[in-house]
Amino acid sequence: MSEIAAIADPTRRRLIHLLAEAEEIPLHELTAQFKMGRTAVSKHLTILKEAGLVLDRKVGRETRFRLKASPLTEIQVWVASYNKFWSKGMLGLKLLLEDEEKMSETLISDFQFNTSIEKVWSALTDSNKLAKWVMENNFKPVVGHRFQFRTQPVEGWNGVIDCEVLILDEPNRLSYTWVSGGQNNTVTWTLQDLGNGKVNLHLEQSGITNEYVLENAKRGWAAMCGMLEKVLAE
């Protein structure tokens, strides 16, 4: 596979970005940066290695990887030859890698409740129950339905979150957009019946581009899921 084909995949571009920031990284540390298993990450690294972009070595039972940057210079020269065809807003390879990293922020949290999966699903999809633990809303469990969460405005924010239902798979999965304050995110809830009266509620809020927003989202959902526990107990 050519160097250009090897970096066409966003996962491999992120691997290059991670390797560029460190002299050498072991496989387990690279794997920890992705929502995929060790085998999948290894396959991507093998493709980069075959393209001459990555080197590896064994240290005991551990495999460590480092970037071989010289082939990227050839790509840069090739890209530069087409600059006249690009608009001023197009970014070079370095900015592309930085943006890929910046846009990859996803809040992931898990909450467990002693209740039934049906009760949790109802708390996620019933507008009146949502109002008790999230915000006032006009939610309807219909794919494509546009709705809003609304709360008291504060300085710099009107207190409105615009949403649209994307996925409705009762009682397993619910996803909707979450647009507010310049952020265009996607919130996805995944429910899993653990048996013995326990339910795991998995949250992913993807598309976060601001560290401040990420930290606030962590605290906010933790507090709201604390309220959810009280709603489920009613």
Residues 129 and 193 grouped into a single domain: yes
Per-residue confidence at 13, pLDDT binned at 50, 70, 90? confident
CB atoms within 10 A of CB 117: 19
Residues 128 and 220 grouped into a single domain: yes
E strand spans, 40-182: 54-59, 62-67, 105-114, 136-137, 146-150, 160-169, 173-180
The per-residue pLDDT for range 194-204, each reduced to its tens digit, is: 999 999 999 99
Q: Which of 102, 129, 162 is the last residue of a domain?
A: 102
Look at residue 101 in the predicted model and tell me its pLDDT. 53
Cα 76 → chain centroid? 29
Look at residue 209 in the predicted model and tell me its pLDDT. 81
pLDDT at 85 over 80: no
pTM for this prediction: 0.58
Look at residue 231 in the predicted model and tell me its pLDDT. 96
pLDDT at 188 over 60: yes
pLDDT at 70 over 60: yes
The first and second tokens of residue 197, run together, are 């009266």
Residues 66 and 134 grouped into a single domain: no
The first and second tokens of residue 193, run together, are 């019946």
- Give the angle subtended at the CA of 117 by the CAs of 37 and 124, to the nearest 5°: 90
Residues 90 and 116 grouped into a single domain: no
Beta-bridged to residue 192, according to DSSP, are 200
Residues 25 and 133 grouped into a single domain: no
The per-residue pLDDT for range 147-171, each reduced to its tens digit, is: 999 999 988 889 999 999 999 999 9
Residues 84 and 31 grouped into a single domain: yes
Q: 52: buried, middle or exposed (CB in 10 Å: 19+, 13-18, 0-12)?
A: middle
Contacts of 51 (CB under 8 A, 6+ apart): 1, 2, 3, 5, 6, 71
Q: Which of 68, 87, 102 is the last residue of a domain?
A: 102
Per-residue confidence at 83, pLDDT binned at 50, 70, 90? low
Mean pLDDT value of segment 129-153: 96
Residues 128 and 67 grouped into a single domain: no
Residues 58 and 161 grouped into a single domain: no
Q: Which of 52, 84, 102 is the last residue of a domain?
A: 102
Residue 229's domain is classified under what CATH number? 3.30.530.20
Q: What is the mean pLDDT of the chain?
A: 85
pLDDT at 139 over 60: yes
Check the CA dihedral 125-194-40-16 and report its sign: positive
Number of domains forming the structure of the chain: 2
Alpha-carbon span 228 to 129, nearest angstrom: 9
Host domain of residue 140: 105-233
The per-residue pLDDT for range 29-60, each reduced to its tens digit, is: 998 888 888 888 889 999 888 888 889 999 88
Phi, psi (5° rounding) for residue 183? -105, 135
Look at residue 95 in the predicted model and tell me its pLDDT. 58
Residues 127 and 190 grouped into a single domain: yes
3-state secondary structure of 29: helix
Beta-bridged to residue 134, according to DSSP, are none
Look at residue 88 in the predicted model and tell me its pLDDT. 47
Residues 33 and 132 grouped into a single domain: no
Residue 11's domain is classified under what CATH number? 1.10.10.10
Residues 143 and 200 grouped into a single domain: yes
Residues 117 and 79 grouped into a single domain: no
| 105 φψ region: left (φ > 0), alpha (ψ -120 to 50), beta (else) | beta
pLDDT at 217 over 70: yes
